[in-house]
Amino acid sequence: MPRTSPLGRRWSQVAVGLTALLGIVFTLRPIDDYDVWYHLAAGRLMMTTWRWPVSNTFAYTTPDHPWIDLHWVFQLVLYAAYALGGADGCIILAVVLVLATVTILHASARRFAPDVLVALLIAIALVVASPRFVPRPELLSFVLLATYLWLLDGFPRNGRALYWLVPLQVVWTNSQGIFAVGLVVIGCYWAGATLAFLPLPRGWRAASGASPGEWRRLTLVLVLATAACFLNPYGLRGVLFPLELLPRVTGSSLLSARIGEFRPPFQSGYGVPLAYTWVATIIFVAVSFIVSIRRWHLGRLFVTALLAALSTQALRNVALFAWVAVPAIAANLGPLCTRSADPSPTARGEKRRDARARAPAASGRLAAALAPVATGGVIVVLALLVASVVTNRFSRSLDIEREFGLGVSSLHFPIAAEEFARDVGIGGRPFNCLATGGYLAWRRFPAERVFVDGRLEVYPEEFFRFYFAALDDPRTWPTVVTRYAPDYALLYHVWSNRFPLVRYLLAGHGWELVYYDETASLYLPTDDAHRAVRERAEREFAARHARNSPSPPTSGLWRALSVPVAALRRDTAYGDFLMTIGAADEAAEAYARALAIDPDVSQTRFTLGVAQWSAGRPAQATIEWRDLLRRDPTFERARAALAEAEQRLPAR
């Protein structure tokens, strides 16, 4: 690597430190992933029973369905983190795993490129992968993937260190179902080393090749790592489990059509800026391979191309590609940086030598002059990015509700609804949403079991079709009652696809709404068996609702700097739910709170006008619609509503 001045090294270290800080602030966010809770519940179950789960223990709907829990190592670690520090302990564990990934990737890429370029590449990868920074087994897979790349990029110089891939494959197999990625990475490097024995271009053979003895070592590692996959509690079924699950979460399958992380990036709700950053990274990788075409490392080329292709198929694969791109681009572009910054030309003849010496020397001086500017630019970009994440402005730009901080997100889980149910004695068999099943399993198992949760492998596809039909077409609800006889229904209504069932249960089909808040609502049967708990719940909710007053928006310097994106989403979604149940006055208040946070959201202002109209305040409705058209003249629904209102108002 080229030598740099002490001052240059210090500024490069600042860039590296800011990259680590970026990883930390991306990961420091209240727990908002629905699957975290069933992983915690599984860890608690294993610590309680000292056995691996083998059947669908948490659900009463399909209790005998096999449960191949290949996440068990991570689940035990996660439960230990929770036992030590609660929810914040889980978040700190996530921070440690992300930092470990960044550190190992930096060590791998630093072999080829200067710190500043590596810092920039890792920052791009962090941005692209940031939606996946939650306490899930995936984070341990990130660390393992980075370690695999570090070991394989060091081959054959690292000698016997390559054998560490075998025990690491055992860990990966027992940590997450995507353990096959580890074998694919080893296989790509093995294929590159094997092809290097053929009469390929000299640069390819030099970059990819190995001696016969070194090739045999790599082959043995691949064989042993493959055999290591059988070291799991479920034997052959565990090894084949990824192949069993793959058709259910890819292509046009039922689950891939319903769950965002299994859809391609531009179809998954992935923020458009992040999606374009992912596309730019693919282009960046391709360009780096094009400019280094004479010295391709075939193994690195194969694994990067394969994971790039996989990233186009599902959102959850995007992070894997982002990590692999870091050492690939560094290895391709690093020598170019070295050559321009530290030239050492050779030539024959005095004139030719002098001419060649002058040109690279000038190029080196130019590169040396530009290096501080480039370093300063990277530092500024990283500092601004860190600030945008901490103030939630990064999330606001992506229209997502992830906030910087610790604890548990009250927007994503029915915390208050579950506590209310516990206080008034609501229990038994729930009908719950997929999103709330993990939280209920954590809070109520073993006293109660759930209807469904996020463990996609433990429910047959026919059951998922039945469940989604109940949400989409509530006319099938009587079949749910007949087949499973639920004692209560808990619906997560932040997502509007729950509204058809909400309307059905409110329409006098033997169920009654007994509780609701900004996140969830509870419904009880109107039969005599549930009369006592229903009446108790109605009295308690009426008392709480009468004295409940929404928290006023925060003020001060921090409020001016940060954006409460979770509150914005909560109040908007709550207004939509209140309109669904006919509480237009409360809905108008919720929309007004959302607009106090961001007055320029056209849809929210339009629905505020609708709520005002429904509440019998047509003058206020027309004021809101006129204000909306002043802010956004292209919002045709407001124009149509205003025209209709002006026709009807004289008749009133």
Above 50 in pLDDT, residue 350?
no
- DSSP H or E segment with residue 353: helix 350-390
CA 643, distance to chain mean position in Å, is 43
* 9 vs 42: CA distance, rounded Å: 47
Res 1: pLDDT: 47
Between 9 and 331, name the one with better pLDDT.
Answer: 331
Question: Rounded distance, CA 102 to CA 96, Å?
Answer: 10
What are the tokens at 179? 């353990």
In the prediction, which pLDDT does 551 show? 60
Mean pLDDT of 562-572: 91
Higher pLDDT, 335 or 145: 145
Say if residues 323 and 146 touch (Cβ distance below 8 Å): yes
Average pLDDT over residues 545-558: 65
Average pLDDT over residues 401-421: 93
Q: What is the pLDDT of residues 616-646, one digit of tens each?
A: 999 899 999 999 999 999 999 999 988 888 8
Mean pLDDT value of segment 160-166: 95
CB 494 within 8 A of CB 573: yes
Percent above pLDDT 90 for the chain: 73
pLDDT band at 398 (very low <50, low <70, confident <90, very high): confident
- The residue among 326 and 364 whose pLDDT is bigger is 326
Q: pLDDT value at position 244?
A: 84
Whether 523 contacts 511, CB under 8 Å: yes
- For the cut 70, the answer to whether the pLDDT of residue 291 exceeds it is yes
Mean pLDDT, rounded, for 78-100? 97
Measured at the CA of 234, the angle between CA 228 and CA 239, to 5 degrees, comes to 50
pLDDT in tens, 358-374: 444 444 454 555 567 77
Judge whether residue 210 has pLDDT over 80: yes
Which value, to the nearest 10 degrees, does the dihedral of the CA atoms of residues 460, 462, 466, 468 take? 70
- In angstroms, what CA-CA distances link 174 with 75, 76, 578? 10, 11, 45
**Comparison of pLDDT for 281 and 263, the residue scoring more:** 281
Amino acid 366: pLDDT: 45
Query: What is 557-648's CATH number?
Result: 1.25.40.10
Q: What is the pLDDT of residues 113-134, one digit of tens each?
A: 998 999 999 999 999 999 899 9
Kindly tell me if the per-residue pLDDT of 346 is higher than 90.
no
The answer to whether 154 touches 50, Cβ cutoff 8 Å, is no
Is pLDDT above 50 for 351?
Answer: no
**pLDDT level of residue 150 (50, 70, 90 thresholds):** very high
pLDDT tens, residue by residue, 481-538? 999 999 999 999 999 999 999 999 999 899 999 999 999 999 999 999 999 999 999 9
Average pLDDT of the residues of the chain: 89
Pairing mode, if any, of strands 430-432 and 488-492? parallel
Would you mind telling me the total number of residues written for the chain in this entry?
652
Give residue 355's pLDDT.
46
pLDDT score, position 440: 97
CA dihedral of 231, 232, 238, 239, whole degrees rounded to 10: -20
pLDDT tens digits for range 48-65: 999 999 999 999 999 999
pLDDT at res. 552: 59
pLDDT band (50, 70, 90) for residue 651: low
Q: Where along the chain do its domains lie?
A: 6-30+68-344+357-396, 415-544, 557-648
